[in-house]
Amino acid sequence: MSIPFTLSVYFGRQFAVAVAVMLATLSALVALFDFLELLRESATAPAATFGVIVEMEFLRVPWTLLQILPFAVLLGGIFAFWRLSRSSELVVARAAGISAWQFLALPVLLATLFGVFGTGAMSPLSAVMYGRAEQLYNSYLKSGGGPLAVNGQQLWVRQADSGLTPDGVAVLHTANVQLEHNVLQADKVTVLRLNDQTMLLQRLEAGQATLVAGAWDLRDVDVLQPGGEPEHLDALSFPTDLTVHRVQESFASPDSLSFWALPGFIKLLKRSGFSPIQHELAFQALAALPLLCATMALVAAGFSMRPSRRGGASSMLVSGVGCGFALFMISEVANQFGTSGAVPVVLAAWAPAVAGLFLALALLLHLEDG
């Protein structure tokens, strides 16, 4: 028999409200601890006023919501299904001939939609606000001058170069990179211009360079060619598709890029010679978020639908929470393997969700068909 529409909406509403309340509660708790940590760091940074810290934490809220979402679905689902089971509403529904698969359809669909909303709509907002929060953090709290300092003030770029030969490649290295007020300047610039067989065609050595719109503005340039005489130029414009914004993004966290912006930026990273693994992993994790949320809903149902009169409800609920956090730990370990390149990025991002889905389905089959 098909589940009545009113009953289906009732179960779905109970699930959605529980998830929303849990999402707000967990996010507020995480934001509070993060805010306290920022206050601790600001104790040694006089320029970081209380208002700056509040703004920084506010800008991080959408990112926190996105990270907490799967666990809000798990804990909210456990609470909703446990409440329905404790009040015998699930028992009555099953006694009326409605299977667990029928009344779980709408909650699982809602969990999936939560994930789709997080990936498609929340991710762009989170990326913009988190990127701004990162800028504030680098300006006020992070010593060393920002993300470029982590790379020793150096920049390596690989790009297409058809100026000397079709399908040519240029490899550019700069030292002492300074990025201030959206202006990138560097000293001691070397450009190796290669053909498609990686044979050196020309080498440029510049004393200084400035990244302008569509080109590197090189000054005090020595042009060296194999078998040819060196040539000195006061200035030379070398075309590039790199921009200051893209340089900032390439050294910033992948969390500052939205789901929709990541594919194009990953292609740019590959063309420019940067490692795209972290960005690919972030993209696949966002793509897997709807499946992960649906998995968490099924895990919650599997560990909380046991009737209270059978006993062992508390241990089942604790097991459900433990299983959810075990999935989180497995996901983190898989991410580390993916970042190191030990396993494919797709496997690292999707394997925890798929494994959890099979576990939840097996548990529900055991409870339903015994």
CATH number of the CATH domain containing 224: 2.60.450
In the chain, the amino acid numbered 189 is: V
247, 268, 286 - which closes a domain: 247
Q: What is the pLDDT along the chain (370 residues), one digit of tens a residue?
A: 456 777 888 889 999 999 999 999 999 999 999 999 999 988 888 888 999 999 999 999 999 999 999 999 999 999 898 888 887 777 777 767 677 778 788 999 999 999 999 999 999 999 999 988 988 887 888 754 444 444 456 777 777 787 778 888 888 888 777 777 677 888 888 999 988 888 888 999 999 999 888 888 999 999 998 877 889 899 999 888 777 777 766 666 788 888 998 888 888 777 766 678 888 999 999 999 999 999 999 988 887 776 555 555 567 667 777 887 788 788 888 888 888 878 889 999 998 889 888 888 888 887 765 4
Is 52 inside any structural domain?
A: yes
Q: What is the pLDDT of residue 306?
A: 63
Residues 196 and 341 in one domain: no
Residue-level pLDDT at 329: 83
Q: How confident is the model at residue 142, as a pLDDT?
A: 72
Q: Are residues 135 and 173 in the same domain?
A: no
Shared-domain flag, residues 137 and 170: no
Residue 64, domain extent? 5-142+278-369
Residues 31 and 155 in one domain: no
- Assess if residue 334 is contained within a domain: yes
Q: How far is CA 239 from CA 213, 250, 251, in A?
A: 9, 19, 22
pLDDT of residue 308: 53
Residue 233 and residue 327: Cα distance in Å, rounded?
60
Residue 254 belongs to a domain: no
Residue 269 maps to a domain: no
Structure token digits, residue 188: 């001691």
Burial 47-57 (b: 16+ CB within 10 A, else e): ebeeebbeebb
Please indicate, yes or no, whether residues 45 and 120 belong to a single structural domain of this protein. Answer: yes
Q: Is 220 left (phi over 0), alpha (psi -120 to 50) or beta?
A: left
Write down the pLDDT at residue 169: 85
Q: Based on the domain organization, do 283 and 360 belong to the same domain?
A: yes
H or E element at residue 157: strand 155-160
pLDDT score recorded for residue 273: 64
Same domain? For 192 and 242 the reply is yes
Other Cβ atoms within 10 Å of 136 Cβ, number: 18
Examine residue 336 and state whether it is found in any structural domain, yes or no. Answer: yes
Q: 148-179 in b/e burial notation, b at 16+ Cβ within 10 A?
A: beeeebebebbbebeeeeeebbbbbebeebeb
Q: Are residues 156 and 202 in the same domain?
A: yes
pLDDT at 88: 76
Query: Which H/E stretch holds residue 177?
Result: strand 169-180
Judge whether 263 lies within some domain: no
Distance CA 173, CA 156 (A): 5
Residues 186 and 82 in one domain: no
Asked if residue 261 belongs to a domain, the reply is no
Task: Compute the C-alpha angle 102/107/108, nearest 5°.
Answer: 85
On whether both 132 and 35 belong to a single domain, the answer is yes
Count of domains for the chain: 2
d(CA 356, CA 221): 58
Same domain? 138 vs 173 = no
- 128 and 23 both lie in a single domain: yes
234 within a domain of the structure (yes/no)? yes
